[in-house]
Amino acid sequence: MTAETVIGAVPAQAEFRACQYTGLKVDTAAQALIKANAVAAVVFLAIGGLMGLLVALTRWPAVHLLPADWFYLILTGHGANVLLFWIIFFEIAVLYFASAILLNSRIAAPKLAWVGFVMMVVGAIATNVAVLQGDSSVMFTSYPPMKAQPHFYLGLILFAVGALIGCAIFFATLAIAKEERTYDGSIPLVTFGALTAAIIAVFTIASGAIILIPTWLWSLGLISDIDPLMYRVVWWAMGHSSQQINVSAHVSLWYLTAALLVGAKPLSEKVSRTAFFMYILFLQLASAHHLLADPALDASWKIVNTSYMMYLAVLGSMVHGLTVPGAIEAAQRRNGFNRGVFEWLRKAPWGHPAFAGMFLSLVFFGFIGGISGVVLGTEQLNVLMHNTIYVPGHFHGTVVAGTTLAFMGATYLVLPLVFEREILWPKLAKMQPYLFGIGAAGISLFMMGAGTLGVPRRHWDITFSDASLGFAHSAGAFLMMGLNGIFAIIAAIGGIIFILVVVGTVFFGEKITAGHKLTFPLHAGGGAVASHYGSEKAPKLPGTVILVAIFFVCFVLYYFINWKYLSELWLFR
């Protein structure tokens, strides 16, 4: 049976253009889909990002911008727009790129892919409408018995089904590419990573459907009752696992960016692919991360689940934490930057916004998001931080300073290579990843600091001025929330520059013609490295070893500091 008969009416004919920078064959139908998904992603980033700024300015006690009802409304919208819509639209673009473009293949069923895209757009709009109407301020997590309008849930369901179609198109394109022999041997590592993301996405969306469909029926009055604990167990199989789609996707983009910009090959394909494989096997266990402080759940289940089965998925991320900088070091040494321990790093293309975004994402994701995630997800330590603003601190380290920054960096490759436009305002573009990265790292750290001092998340007024029994947080907590506001402004400036550069480039950037020299050039042969299978041969990595050692020491110290905090708490069992 051919792929066509499996998938249905697939046009065997597709139009291609040849990319002058990477040598790749680009299916124009895939290119149009990548453009549409990337544009939708950026639109929702702009909306959700602005909402994020309003949230941060309200939580800055000295500013306290929005009234309470607006604050909870905007916070609900912020979560849905950036955590779901921005990231998933971009990921669908990544899936189409990693299948059709990297494998020199035509994309499967482009018309069906457009149907999926339209469903995602309609769903995202429906949910936004429900939120803005004001009676669905239930937060992104929408825990029952708190109830939103039916179209809040229906929008999410539509969006998820559209995304599922995107995953199906990705799998079908892999099948077509294999059958039509558009590549030799194993798929390239970047495609392998994207495959990981797509497999996790299917699991995630299934979990989402299992819980959101009954919740939608409940909001319509067709089901009488949703058990709140059951909801949290299943919802988080979507809510946390969907963040593992992001991890797989942005790690793939780290490898892609490193390949395109410095010609980096993985140190060994086996190790990097096994690390991705660990994600498929274990990362999606993570729903317990949110249930460690819940009643009735057994400690043995919590321990196995929260540690992703003995930290085997964390092992995967720690492996990428060595192999990504290691691949860059090896490639840079091949490129001639071989002096001393760190010449390779000093002379890396820091002025290229794609590289800056990628490398800062790697550092922040590991040091801030990764370490705090393990600590937060440790069974007993969780009681110190559960539902405090430490939790948003952690996930802004992963999905903002990690995923979003990596996606922004990748956008500086998408603009010239897919939209075929020269980047407008290159000086602004150069600064952008640094501004956004420092802002995002700052908000993560200061929210974590405030959470350690007990500041609650999703809370309009930490002065408790309207409460009958007053309570005062420490001065340190207020300082942290103020610093959080300042760094949110820095991140917002970086975000606004990003939107300006992207929109400006798409509409007014110089059209790239044959022989055009890119402002931000690729590494010669980078396209071939990214799209082919192959490991580095016998590299020396003294710089990477030092970086990884620093990371490990920070990890161990921070882990034990938190156990010390825990041991000083009141006793409970």
Question: Which member of 145, 336, 340, 351 binds other proteins (CB under 8 A)?
Answer: 145
Cα distances (angstroms) measured from residue 493 to each of 339, 354, 444, 447, 485? 37, 18, 16, 19, 12
Q: Which is nearer to other proteins, 342 or 460 (CB)?
A: 460
Binding of residue 379 to other proteins (CB under 8 A) = yes
Cβ at position 478, least distance to other proteins in Å: 13
Q: Which of 127, 281, 89, 87 is nearest to 203 (CA)?
A: 281
Cα distances (angstroms) measured from residue 241 to each of 30, 164, 196, 280, 393? 27, 15, 12, 10, 18
- Note if the bond before 145 is cis, omega within 30 degrees: yes
Tell me how crowded residue 139 is: count the other CB atoms within 10 A of its CB. 17
Binding mask 281-310 for other proteins (x = CB under 8 A): ----------xxxxxxxxx---x---x--x
Question: Which member of 1, 62, 470, 515 binds other proteins (CB under 8 A)?
Answer: 470
Q: Which is nearer to other proteins, 270 or 346 (CB)?
A: 270
Cα distances (angstroms) measured from residue 527 to each of 329, 452, 518? 18, 45, 15
Cβ at position 206, least distance to other proteins in Å: 24
Binding of residue 469 to other proteins (CB under 8 A) = yes
Residue numbers 25-54 binding other proteins by CB under 8 A:
none
Question: Which member of 312, 428, 431, 486 binds other proteins (CB under 8 A)?
Answer: 312
Question: Which member of 178, 506, 548, 558 binds other proteins (CB under 8 A)?
Answer: 548
Question: Which member of 24, 169, 283, 319 binds other proteins (CB under 8 A)?
Answer: 319
Q: Which is nearer to other proteins, 178 or 459 (CB)?
A: 459
Q: Which is nearer to other proteins, 150 or 527 (CB)?
A: 527
Determine the 3-state secondary structure of 26 from DSSP: strand
Looking from the CA of 103 toward its CB, the CA atoms found within 13 Å total: 37
Question: Which member of 471, 475, 507, 514 binds other proteins (CB under 8 A)?
Answer: 471
- CA–CA gap between residue 279 and residue 308 (Å, rounded): 9
431's enclosing H/E stretch is: helix 426-452
Tell me how crowded residue 479 is: count the other CB atoms within 10 A of its CB. 15
Residue numbers 240-279 binding other proteins by CB under 8 A:
267-271, 273-274
Task: Please check whether residue 157 is in contact with residue 123, taking contact to mean a CB–CB distance below 8 angstroms.
Answer: yes
Binding of residue 102 to other proteins (CB under 8 A) = no
Binding of residue 386 to other proteins (CB under 8 A) = yes
Question: Which member of 28, 335, 519, 535 binds other proteins (CB under 8 A)?
Answer: 535
Beta bridge partners of 456: 388
Q: Which is nearer to other proteins, 426 or 454 (CB)?
A: 454
Q: Structure tokens of 473?
A: 């947080």
Residue numbers 334-373 binding other proteins by CB under 8 A:
none
Count of residues in contact with other proteins, rule CB under 8 A: 96
**Choices 26-34, 47-55, 181-189, 496-504; region in contact with other proteins by CB under 8 A:** 181-189
Cα distances (angstroms) measured from residue 153 to each of 95, 136, 537? 25, 10, 51
Q: Which is nearer to other proteins, 420 or 536 (CB)?
A: 536
Residue numbers 395-454 binding other proteins by CB under 8 A:
452-454
- CA–CA gap between residue 449 and residue 436 (Å, rounded): 20
Cα distances (angstroms) measured from residue 106 to each of 27, 181, 364, 467? 5, 11, 36, 61
Question: Which member of 314, 324, 413, 497 binds other proteins (CB under 8 A)?
Answer: 314
Q: First and final CA of the chain: distance in angstroms? A: 60
Task: Please check whether residue 234 is in contact with residue 196, taking contact to mean a CB–CB distance below 8 angstroms.
Answer: no
**Choices 46-54, 158-166, 221-229, 249-257; region in contact with other proteins by CB under 8 A:** 221-229
Q: Which is nearer to other proteins, 507 or 572 (CB)?
A: 572
Q: What is the CA radius of gyration of the chain?
A: 23
Cβ at position 324, least distance to other proteins in Å: 12
Residues 6+ apart with CB under 8 A from 25: 16, 17, 18, 19, 104, 182
Binding of residue 224 to other proteins (CB under 8 A) = no
**Choices 6-14, 40-48, 384-392, 480-488; region in contact with other proteins by CB under 8 A:** 384-392
Question: Which member of 213, 486, 528, 558 binds other proteins (CB under 8 A)?
Answer: 528
Binding of residue 508 to other proteins (CB under 8 A) = no
Q: Structure tokens of 289?
A: 């991360």
Binding of residue 483 to other proteins (CB under 8 A) = no
Binding of residue 573 to other proteins (CB under 8 A) = yes
Beta bridge partners of 18: 25
Residue numbers 52-81 binding other proteins by CB under 8 A:
68-69, 72
Binding of residue 132 to other proteins (CB under 8 A) = no
Looking from the CA of 36 toward its CB, the CA atoms found within 13 Å total: 17
Phi, psi for residue 291 in degrees, rounded to 5: -120, 10
Cβ at position 238, least distance to other proteins in Å: 18
Q: Which is nearer to other proteins, 286 or 490 (CB)?
A: 286
